[in-house]
Structure 1
Amino acid sequence: MNSSYPASFYAATANRKDARPELSESLTADVCVIGAGFTGLSTALHLAERGFSVVVLEGSRIGFGASGRNGGQIVHSYSRDMDFIERHYGTATADAMGGMAFEGGKIIRRLVKQYDIKCDLKDGGIFASCNSKQFRGLQHHKALWEKYGNDQLELLDEKEVQKYVGTDRYTGALLDKSGGHIHPLNLTLGEADAIESLGGKIFENSPVTNVQQGEKAVISTPKGQVTANFVMIAGNAYLNGIGDLLPKLTQKSMPCGTQVITTEVLSKEMQQQLLPQDYCVEDCNYLLDYYRLSGEGRLIYGGGVTYGARDPGKIENLIRPKMLKTFPQLKNVKIDYAWTGNFLLTLMRLPEFGRIGNNIYYAQGYSGHGVTSTHLAGELVASAIQGQSSRFDVFANLPKYPFPGGRLMRVPYTAMGAFYYDLRDKLGI
């Protein structure tokens, strides 16, 4: 149990630092949500808006996991795009998922506006190509996304991209004006406030120790329990301690770590030099770099993956060289914050949605595209619990494959694959 947030820029600038109470009684509810990250909060909020009574149980703090430590970028679609989905699962599935690919970002903007959430929301995102092959990929990407309704895209050539990003590293870019960025921990805290404003209850430092299945589920914590008609499991990479259900949710996924650093506050001149339009950026490499300016003008820069969520050691030593490769003008800038956090990877890099029995739902495994996909997941789970499950079932019906070699070999096999694709990126092939 973690009663405080890991040190990060987001934790240091959280709008609210006091903890909600620990569950110490027996409650009943229509729905019990396990996990107060984006998936759990989005589910609880969409349910509360529909009039359901909701209890959220969080083992540590709201947004403790990836939801409160990520790069904060509103990136649409999934870790695999619709052409991949069509090849593997058919046109009908691709069209259905394509129709939902841009919904998560719209949900975020609606919640921010409707509940007046202070999370430094800014519009605009850039996908930057590091070689000619990647730029051709962006041309294809633009046509694909336009097919599914995104009409806010613009291709930038090598000279044009330098109007948006102060580096000569890129051969071109795709600008998505419907993308954007946020302070992710403050978004989770604002969503939690919204749930409570609608009558929902949230308990922190209340790890779930067991889920007893039945017509009504009984969810136990060290000091209390919740009896609910439905359960939503939203622990993602930080799922633990729920008894016999755990293997069903972890055998086909793998936690992975990513690292982030944040500079000191930069001068207005330097901010203008680096990102004059204040858009967020991610490159097109397999092991990608991503960065943006914070609300107060710090550069937040992340990149790299550690498979199996092992501790990477000195984070600044890993990420600072990446930052300086992009922005050598920052060589004398001080790094004020450095942290790591885990996301959950699936073999096919598509989210895993499903049911256990008739009344236990789960959604996890966003594979690096969690900020928007989690918010979509909450809407789909809430609709399914309400009795409208067709859109949820599009995801739930996707096959779920185990990693080759099982749990023992998933880390080395995946790391070898990542090395291969990283080498292809570097060679531009």
Structure 2
Amino acid sequence: MSGAPTRVFIARLAGIAVFDPAGDQVGRVRDVVVALRLAPRPPRVLGLVVEVGPRRPVFVPITRVQVIEADAIIFDGRLNMRRFSKRESETLVIAEMLDRTVRLCETGEPVAVVDVSMEPTRTRDWLVGKIAVRRGGARGLRRGPGLRRRGESLVVDWDDVEGFSAVEHGQGAAGLIAAFGQMKAADLANIVHELPAKRRTEVAAALDDERLADVLEELPEDDQIEILGKLEADRAADVLEAMGPDDAADLLGELPTEQREQLLTLMEPQDAAPVRRLLTYEDYSAGGLMTTDPVIVPPDATVAEALALIRNPDLNPALAAQVYVCRAPTATPTGRYLGTVHFQRLLREPPPTLVSGICDTELDPLRPTMTLEAVAMVLATYNLVAAPVVDENGHLLGSVTIDDVLDHLLPEDWRETAMDAAAETSADPEEEALRGAEGAR
């Protein structure tokens, strides 16, 4: 393999761009597939899991990789688009080996796996060579000469540790999360969906509330219910508070009544109140689709103040496309709704201009009882990415965004379909030979 280093630590490959020989990027590395073998033989590297499109991981045999650099991998350009599916004889390094607790053979000391290296051989195979571990400093262990203090990291040979083949309960997930720390929530959700149920639970436990909330919003319904059900009730309530009220209501609506009420009771009252209101509406109505947290300003707000609000990087882009002008109170349900100001109009007006003088009052707002189809037609007719929902008394209740409309117009299992559908591609002989032969050993 030209351009191959003598040793590559695998966690550092996560997210690296993969290019064909012409220099065109085809995807990014998501993991490395290895085959564990009987001790003391080190695992053999079979290939890379590369995400080549929205939520499509494929397998690239290691024999097709030509160059590995710090910021890029180049392969020979031959790519089978069949969706990758891990076999029983295979192990994913990042998803399954990082964070494991193994033991040093010489002392029996428990250590946590921080990283795993792969190294080329003379026969152009790649094998796992070194294991980077972190000492846990467990009590009662003998510390002989040369043993380092608690928490210190060291790199050891593969045959210096044992315990990779055992099933570990309570395995951490800090290493996996760190490897994909910069990934968008939707992409991380795809990885979480692909993990075994045990590993999904461990990753959910390691994510902070905000990040887990973002990931849950992108997962299929079955995964959401499974993960939420395995969290402690107090933590589940915290995660629901971090979710958008509409997403939290959708998830709670799928739970048994007793569990739903328990979680709503544990949530902070100010967070539970909008969720309870959303649960009173039909699922496929404007009221059931809306979020209760749009951008709202009073009539004496200026263009500069409105622009400052929509610059919030945590704001959904569809919600940031407009602000709603309402009399006090400006939390939903608001005082009288006066109109909408689209962000393009804000950009065209002088900063001191009052929003009340430039708001659009001609477009009729949505009513909470409008059907999904009616809402979709309004958005399509007027080329909108969001629209206000106002009750019969003129109070703003929330806003329906185009992403929520699409989410409900698509088949109920569209997330599973997007994540699970395999391409109609014939088997790759080289891939089958590499993976099949190793699995038989």
Specify if TM > 0.5: no
Of the two structures, which has the highest relative contact order with CA contacts closer than 8 Å and spacing of 6 or more? 1
The normalised TM-score by structure 1 is 0.22
